[in-house]
Amino acid sequence: MLRYFIEVAYKGTHYSGFQSQHNAVSIQSTVEDAMQTVFKTDFKLTCSSRTDTGVHALQNYFHFDTEIELNLKQIYNLNAVLSRDIVIKNIVQVDGESHARFSATYREYKYYITRNRNPFLTETTWFYPYNLDIELLQQAANILMEYEDFTSFSKRNTQVKTFICNLIVSKWYYENECLVYHVKSNRFLRGMVRGLVGTMLQVGRGIINLEDFRKIIEEKNCTKANFSTPPTGLFLMEVTYPEEVLSIRW
């Protein structure tokens, strides 16, 4: 039995998240259907990072086991039957112990906000026309780097053993027409990035101050954070693995 990683990119606007769900079209189910069409057999994919409904990705991964020997030419065949908002970027044979989720070392997200209406960005940014203090936003982002327990930014009914996350990047900046929050960590909790963004925006608008922000983190109570941030502006940018995991073996 051979194990492969599939690297995918997608615009999540019309999908009910990354992972398969009952009575809903997801990225996983769509890719599985495409693989069944091309290879005439069923596949069960395991995902690396579960993005929510409407969230996008420039890079995400599945792994699967099969007795079929795949090659790079089959990427074209798969993309030919997939819809245009999902792209297979690569297929890599890996060691049988490599796992798309548990072998990953870091995940990296960006959240895009536009301050002016732009018809070409409506599905990939959040239109947020309020006045913001960028310096306060960055101070809030810096405060996050002082903590490891992000219970306050995890939505309820999540099944995890720990709320500890090790952030290595947390910053705000402008990129083209957008205000961007960039965050990188070894792991993320359910709804965490949107909770971080929504709560920091309250700081940037002066609704709460930096001391209030610290209290929200330290109270470890998700009812104190703001999760109203929509999925439209959120992108999973990169999933990082040890170099030996993705060594190509064609």
- Residue 95 CA: distances (Å) to CA of 43, 48, 238: 18, 16, 21
The confidence score (pLDDT) of residue 134 equals 96
Q: Dihedral of CA 56/59/65/68: which sign?
A: positive
Cβ contact 4:56 at 8 Å: no
10-residue mean pLDDT series, the chain (250 residues): 95 88 85 95 90 93 93 92 95 93 96 94 95 97 98 85 95 95 96 97 98 98 95 96 76
pTM: 0.94
Which residues are within 8 A (CB) of 234 and not within 5 positions of it... i.e. 6 or more apart? 51, 52, 54, 55, 56, 109, 110, 111, 112, 193, 194
pLDDT digits (tens, 9 = 90+) for 164-179: 999 999 999 999 989 9
The confidence score (pLDDT) of residue 249 equals 54
The confidence score (pLDDT) of residue 84 equals 93
Determine phi and psi for 62, rounding to 5 degrees.
Answer: -120, 160
Set out the domains of the chain in order of their start, with CATH numbers. Answer: 2-103 (3.30.70.580), 106-237 (3.30.70.660)
The confidence score (pLDDT) of residue 248 equals 57
The confidence score (pLDDT) of residue 50 equals 82
Q: What is the DSSP string of 185-207?
A: ES---TTHHHHHHHHHHHHHTTS
- Say how far apart CA 36 and CA 42 lie, in whole Å: 5
Q: List residues with catalytic annotation.
A: 52
- The rounded Cα 153 to chain-centroid distance in angstroms is 15
- Say how far apart CA 211 and CA 234 lie, in whole Å: 26
